[in-house]
Amino acid sequence: MLRLEGVTKRFGGLTAVRAVSLEVAAGELVGIIGPNGAGKTTLFNVVAGYYRPDEGRVRLDGRDITGLAPHAICRLGLTRTFQLVKPFGNLSVLDNVTIGALTRLRNLRAARADAERVLETCGLAPYATARARALPIGLRKRLEVARALATRPRVLLLDEVMAGLNPAELAAMVELVRRVHAEGVTLLVIEHVMAAMMRLARRIVVLHHGELIADGPPAAVAADRRVVDAYLGEEFSLAEA
């Protein structure tokens, strides 16, 4: 479904992403982990069209989407969320999601109805008329996901949607991601919250200094020496997860 071929992105003298190749099958949920500055968000930016890679290609469902504008990529079925959430602050929660729904639907009324359904799925229905900027961070993150969902993506890129959530919100978000995955959406999830990641993902990819250093099931990755040295610090016990 999504294929990255040797993607490299440089900023001046710094190579943020170095020859990353990755293949994600339809319906997979792949976790992406790595220390800060490893290039995870940069990778998302390249895939979603915000940056043009210096080398390599990105293919969505076989089609080359390298260098296309972000909105074109969204129309082709790939949507991303932002690590620092970007709600449409002055608009209501419902309007935020409606705008997402308008990507696929031309009719405003139908889009609004669709948005209401998405709000229901994400547990945001009670806040429909609230102004987005009045929401606390936990709900903002959920709104970010809901809005992206409304675009009916085939591939969804989630960038640290769990960060900053309290345990209850975290559990709810994990549930939401699981439900989205169950509906057949292909997911790429960047996360630092290891417990959640290990629970959700059956395949984890590790980025370090822009390079892909591990790719496999959670247990294998957690035991990988290089990953432990670079990121985990000590062997992550799955029993704790």
Partner 1 sequence: MAGLRRRGALLLFGLAALAPLVVRDAYFLDSLILILMWGALSAAWNVASGYAGQVSLGHAAFFGIGAYAAALVSARWGQSPWLGLLLGVALSIAAGAVIGYLSNRLRGPYFALSTIAFSQVLLIVASRWRTLTAGSEGIPVPFRPGFWTLGLSHVAWVYVALALALLYYGVEVYLERSRLGYRLAGVREDEDAAEALGIPTRRLKVLAVTLSAALTAVGGSLWAQYVGFVDPFYVFSIDLSIRFALNTIIGGTGTALGPFLGSILITSLETYLRATFSGVRTGFTGIYLIIYGAVLILVVRFLPEGLVGLARRARATPARAQA
Question: Does 83 contact partner 1 by CB under 8 A?
Answer: no
Instruction: Say if CB 31 and CB 201 are below 8 A apart.
Output: yes
* Interface with partner 1 (CB under 8 A), residue from 1, 8, 59, 99: 99
Stretch that binds partner 1, among 26-34, 79-87, 163-171, 222-230 (CB under 8 A): 79-87
Round to whole Å and give the CA distance between 73 and 67: 9
* Interface with partner 1 (CB under 8 A), residue from 20, 30, 118, 148: 148
Number of residues that bind partner 1 (CB under 8 A): 34
Q: Give the nearer residue to partner 1 in terms of CB position, either 107 or 166.
A: 107
Which residue reads 């960060």 in tokens?
163
Does the CA dihedral 235-210-193-190 come out positive or negative?
negative
- Which tokens is 4 given? 């990255």
Question: Does 30 contact partner 1 by CB under 8 A?
Answer: no
CA atoms within 13 A on the CB side of 19: 1
* Interface with partner 1 (CB under 8 A), residue from 54, 92, 138, 216: 92
* Interface with partner 1 (CB under 8 A), residue from 36, 106, 136, 239: 106
Instruction: Say if CB 58 and CB 73 are below 8 A apart.
Output: no
Round to whole Å and give the CA distance between 38 and 103: 32
Stretch that binds partner 1, among 53-61, 73-81, 214-222, 224-232 (CB under 8 A): 73-81
State the CB neighbour count (10 A cutoff) for residue 203: 16
Binding site for partner 1 (CB under 8 A): 48, 50, 69-72, 74-75, 79-82, 86-92, 95, 98-100, 102-103, 106-108, 111, 129, 131, 147-148, 151
